[in-house]
Every structure is written in C-alpha cells, then in structure tokens.
C-alpha cells in the first residue's frame, strides 16, 4: 500500500513501487525479471535465506530478546533481529555464506552483560553458572537468566527465556531428543522480572553435547 509523505507518493501501488534512492524519488515496475541473476543478487538472496532460517529456529527467543528494543522504535522484534544478523552475523561469499556464531546477538538491551560464565555438560543438559554481580548498577537479584544452545548441523535449538534468578548463580538448560556427539553454540542473557529491561546476549562458546 502506498502512502503520501511531504506531498509525494511512497510505497507500492499496482505494479510499481516508489522509494527514495540516494536522495532521489525513484519509481520502478514490479515483476519477475527474465534476466539471469547477478552474483551480487545471488549473494543477497542467499544471505537473506541463511539469516531467515537461523532466526526462525529461535523465533520464540527472539520475540522476547528484541521485544523491548522493537517496542521503543515501533518495529517487530523479528525485523530488528533480521537487520542486525543480515548485516553483522552472516559472513562469507556466494555460495558459501554462513552464520558467524560469535557475532550472533539473540537479545538486545542496556542491562549490564553477564560475566564469568562457565558451562559444563551434565547428564540432562548444559549447566550454566555465572559470577556474582551484587551492587552492579542496572541489575537486580530477581533478573532471570535466558539460555540458548543452537546445534548448527541439526538446525535445532534448545532455549529458555525465563530461567533462574540472578542471585541463584546457576541454571540447567535441558537437552531433549538430541544424541550426544553434536556441537552446540551457546549464549546467555538476563531479563528483568517485569520484562522491561534486558541485556545483550553473550556468546559463551562452542560445546560438544
């Protein structure tokens, strides 16, 4: 649907779309091109596909992790997460484009980052523990931990968005129906009890289940 802004039409109407490009108002037709895709077009499409598939696996976590920031600028959490990961966390050249897991950011906020995180593999999953942050401005003992383990070869994830409180210092992320021997990329974040403030997620390393 098109809109009028400053006396000018923007957006889609019929088979045309109007938008600003390098300071100029541009109108182009919409339709399927018969021209072969360029290498740049192929790279953009693959980057978009790789990013979208990764985020879809973690959609419920993303909805919580980006909700506060998205609400602030009146955007959808998935859109916010997609913009970041497409630009910063997807890497490589066509046709070898992949997610750069240490650069992944599954939550976004101003709460201080969790520190001194240690992960251990136990019988029922991954045990996360973190150091005390008593007296650290911007945190509270009732903040809840958020945990993620993403298994790249399986395209599957285990996560929780409302775990143990900060003062407990430890929490278990259960792993169900996944055979041992596969690698997981792991992350931790904290969210306030009222869900209004959240930390950026922190990459806590690659762990073999």
Residue 83 shares a structural domain with residue 6: no
Residue 23 shares a structural domain with residue 125: no
Residue 154 shares a structural domain with residue 81: yes
Does 57 have pLDDT greater than 60?
A: yes
Residue 106 shares a structural domain with residue 148: yes
Domain containing 190 — which CATH number? 2.60.40.10
Q: Which domain holds residue 3?
A: 1-31
Can you spell out the DSSP letters for 82-135?
HHHIIIIIEEEETTEEEE-GGG--S---SBPPP-S-EEEEETTEEEEE----TT
Check: pTM over 0.85? Answer yes or no. no
When the pLDDT of each residue in the chain is averaged and rounded to a whole number, the result is 88
Residue 18 shares a structural domain with residue 109: no
Q: Are 69 and 109 in contact, with CB atoms under 8 Å apart?
A: yes
Residue 117 shares a structural domain with residue 192: yes
Residue 27 shares a structural domain with residue 60: no
Residue 86 shares a structural domain with residue 167: yes
CA-closest candidate to residue 36, choices 45, 28, 26: 45
Residue predicted with more confidence, 43 or 203: 203
pLDDT at 141: 93
pLDDT at 101: 98
Burial class (CB in 10 A: 0-12, 13-18, 19+), 150: buried
Residue 5 shares a structural domain with residue 93: no
Residue 93 shares a structural domain with residue 145: yes
Q: Which residues of 166-190 are buried (b: 16+ CB within 10 A; e: fewer)?
A: beeeebbbebeeeeeeeebbbbbbb
Residue 129 shares a structural domain with residue 166: yes
Please state the domain count of the chain. Answer: 2
């Amino acid at each position: 649907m098109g809109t009028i802004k400053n006396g000018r039409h923007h957006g889609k109407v019929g088979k045309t779309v109007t938008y600003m490009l390098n300071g100029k108002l541009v109108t182009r037709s919409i339709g399927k091109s018969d021209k072969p895709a360029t290498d740049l077009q192929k790279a953009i499409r693959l980057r978009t596909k790789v990013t979208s598939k990764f985020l879809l696996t973690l959609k419920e976590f993303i909805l919580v992790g980006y909700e506060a920031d998205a609400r602030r600028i009146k955007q959808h959490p998935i859109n916010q997460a997609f913009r970041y990961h497409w630009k910063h966390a997807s890497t490589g050249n066509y046709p070898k484009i992949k997610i750069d897991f240490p650069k992944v950011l599954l939550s976004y906020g101003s709460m201080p980052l969790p520190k001194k995180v240690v992960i251990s593999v136990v019988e029922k999953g991954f045990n996360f523990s973190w150091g005390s942050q008593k007296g650290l401005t911007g945190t509270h003992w009732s903040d809840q931990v958020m945990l993620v383990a993403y298994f790249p070869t399986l395209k599957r994830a285990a996560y929780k968005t409302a775990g143990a409180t900060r003062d407990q210092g430890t929490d278990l992320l259960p792993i169900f129906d996944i055979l041992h021997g596969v690698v997981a990329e792991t992350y931790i974040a904290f969210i306030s009890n009222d869900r209004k403030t959240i930390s950026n997620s922190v990459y806590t390393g690659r762990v073999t289940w």
